[in-house]
Structure 1
Amino acid sequence: MHEFDLSLINALQLTPRAAWSDLAPILDVDATTLARRWRRLEEAGLARITVFPRQQLTTRQNMAYLELTCRNGTVEQVASALAEDPGTLSIQFTAGSHQLLLTVAPGQGMADYLMNWIGAFPDVVSYRVHMVTRVVSEAHRWQVRALSPEQRRRLRALAPRTECAKEAGGDRVTGLDQRIADLLCTDGRMGYQRIAERLDIAPTTAARRLNRLIRAGIIGLRCDIARAEMGWPTAAVLWGTVDPQVLERAEDLCEQVPELRLCSTIAGPENTHFIVWLRTVPDLTRVERRLLEALPGLRIADRRMVLHTFKFMGNVLDAAQRYVRTVPLRLSAEEPSPR
């Protein structure tokens, strides 16, 4: 990886849909070069702009972490079949008592998902469910940290407002919204004009509907990377218990623990779930110590190393852990997932 590629990725982590002409003076590179370098990263499967569900959508779709135990020799088969389901957002092979860790937002209801989808796999021996009650620190806040403070400040000024809309019906999802989201899942930087042409609508309609989805807290856009290629070959999942008031008071947790990718509260024997990205396996001890300092009273109950990722927020990965294709995110249960 060239150092400039990391700077470009960092810029798109802060402003995923910013125009190349707006990014050019901040990165001190012409817009044509930026577009060409980004296209190369995408085509190589090293980075992409990803659509992810925000709080309004995850609350409605019963987001959860699901641990699966599979029969010996069937992990890849089960993971490949699960990857085709829009409600199964991420699939990771982990070291621990369960082989697969899934992030799911089934939409049609957790009971139906477990009994009629997971239950249909004869090679799934058992499962354990952790319902997500709140996302404390979202994954889009993690950065490669390749830019200067001044560059980050200028980029943040370009970012659109993303506060949740409060107007009546602000979180309603229509068929047109779903079609727009489908296009964004394949190309998160697709312009309003191209969206309009693909869907036979006016560009102003495309802009209005897309921006409403973002402002209403239904979807977000983030720049994801093939972490193993970018210098973070190791990831770990931690389960712990902490006083909810400590979490409420924890400001800028991702700034205190730069390796923190995600922090959620869950319902179960433990109440907190962490995902961290690491340079090396031994770094986990240091990162865990930082978490304990940032969250007084935190008790870590379990640790799982991620050995392989099959699917990452709707994006299917190959054996080299590069992005190869996308299964679009389902925003509404009105159109059932193909099973």
Structure 2
Amino acid sequence: MHEFAGTAGPKAAATPPRGTLDELDLALVNALQMAPRAPWAQLARPLGVDAATLSRRWSRLRESEAAWVTCHASPSQVTYAALALIEVSCLPQAREALAGQLARHPQAMSVELVAGSCDLLLTVATASMPAMSAYVLALARIETVTGTRTHLVQHVHRDGSEWRMDSLSRDQRRDLAEAEDGSVRSAGARLTSEDRGLLLALAEDGRRSVTSIAAALDRPESTVRRLVHSLLHSGRAVLRCDAAHLHAGWRSTATLWMSVPPAQLVSACEELGRLRSTRMAASVSAEANLLSVVWLHALDDLARYEVQAATRIPSVRVLNRAVNLRWVKRMGRLLGEDGRSVGCVPIDPWHPVD
């Protein structure tokens, strides 16, 4: 059981210091959230700088681990697999080491140190419900774990890949709409065994070239180009551009567990998805049948968010809150204390639970 054992054109903009993200950085991240694999020349005019400047800026952001593009299975794949948020309680002295250990699991999409009713909050994806059961049981066998509580996700109504930095003007967003992938995705498309290699190849760098992927997989470029296009345009996988949130102005994040009457669940999720701070909204199978992951500029914004939610959904009740103390892993990226990437453990729901 090795996975669970042990502990462990225009004038170029000036380059800002390493510790900050300036307006062009934020605009570039926002643009790549809309069109993650768009050529620099396609993004140059909306952003008002030349392609070479954008290329240099992105290289600097990547090298300083302040921003990245990754790839993961689409939320629609929950239909065919299993997704859960798992609350983990542990011995106080083991908290940090346990978080680091769990972050190395390929099934763990995200790992957070949180304040609330648990010590750690995991977002876990497995290829089947039996595999999820095996994962939860394996967690319970770790000596330092004192308790777990699993919230199975029924449907993701708003995914983090849909969230935007909101650093662009209306005109810029309109111009970038041409670069954004607007193809129709099929909810019935299902991940294949061949997709796994592509997902892992794009996990660390979603802008990785077809030439590089073809060389890594030892496949013809024409074949890889066709497969990547199919993977990303069928709805089986999504690309997302993310940034070190603390350097981008988002100082606090939280997960809220809420309850609404079953007949209002879908409309409530849709209403939460319209709130600016909602990063993710999903229906879950527990006493709390609705959860929301929110990003905030300051912790006191959480109360205002709850007021907004109650105004839009009068029947909603907040049952629990997990306020993020530190991201250890977010969507496959290992993060340092300042939110910068310090490594990558690609999300792999197919990985066996030993």
What TM-score comes out, normalization by structure 2 length? 0.88
* Structure 2 equivalent of residue 119 of structure 1: 140
* Structure 2 equivalent of residue 152 of structure 1: 173
Quote the Cα distance in structure 1 between the aligned partners of 2:26 and 2:183: 25
Q: 1:315 aligns with which of 314, 329, 333?
A: 333
Q: 1:66 Cα deviation (Å)?
A: 0.1
Aligned alpha-carbon RMSD (Å) = 1.9
TM-superposition CA deviations, 1:157-201 (whole Å, max 9, x none): 22224543378xx41412x42222112111110122222222222
**8 Å Cα contact 2:75-2:159 kept in structure 1:** no
TM-superposition CA deviations, 1:14-45 (whole Å, max 9, x none): 11111111001111111111011011111112
Secondary structure of 1:73's counterpart equals helix
Quote the Cα distance in structure 2 between the aligned partners of 1:40 and 1:244: 48
Secondary structure of 2:93's counterpart equals coil
Quote the Cα distance in structure 2 between the aligned partners of 1:155 and 1:252: 25
1:32-51 to structure 2, matched below 5 A, reads: 32-51=52-71
Pair 1:190 & 2:211 matched? no
Pair 1:282 & 2:266 matched? no
Quote the Cα distance in structure 2 between the aligned partners of 1:251 and 1:317: 29
Q: 1:153 Cα deviation (Å)?
A: 1.8
**8 Å Cα contact 2:265-2:283 kept in structure 1:** no
Q: 1:104 Cα deviation (Å)?
A: 0.2
* Structure 2 equivalent of residue 17 of structure 1: 37
* Structure 2 equivalent of residue 2 of structure 1: 22
Q: Provide closer, same or farther for how the CA distance between residues 284 and 11 of structure 1 changes in structure 2, counting only shifts above 3 A.
A: same
* Structure 1 equivalent of residue 4 of structure 2: none
Q: Provide closer, same or farther for how the CA distance between residues 166 and 204 of structure 1 changes in structure 2, counting only shifts above 3 A.
A: farther
Alignment gaps of 5+ in structure 2? 1-20
Secondary structure of 2:82's counterpart equals coil
Q: 1:205 Cα deviation (Å)?
A: 1.3
1:41-80 to structure 2, matched below 5 A, reads: 41-80=61-100
Quote the Cα distance in structure 2 between the aligned partners of 1:166 and 1:150: 31
Pair 1:173 & 2:192 matched? yes
Q: Provide closer, same or farther for how the CA distance between residues 129 and 165 of structure 1 changes in structure 2, counting only shifts above 3 A.
A: same
Q: 1:244 Cα deviation (Å)?
A: 4.5
Q: 1:141 aligns with which of 153, 162, 167?
A: 162
Q: 1:247 Cα deviation (Å)?
A: 4.4
- Of the structure 1 ranges 10-19 and 148-157, higher mean CA displacement relative to structure 2 is found in 148-157
Quote the Cα distance in structure 2 between the aligned partners of 1:161 and 1:278: 28
* Structure 1 equivalent of residue 12 of structure 2: none
Q: 1:156 Cα deviation (Å)?
A: 2.1
- Of the structure 1 ranges 242-251 and 283-292, higher mean CA displacement relative to structure 2 is found in 242-251
What TM-score comes out, normalization by structure 1 length? 0.92
* Structure 1 equivalent of residue 285 of structure 2: 267
**Residue type of the alignment partner of 2:56:** R
Q: 1:53 Cα deviation (Å)?
A: 2.5
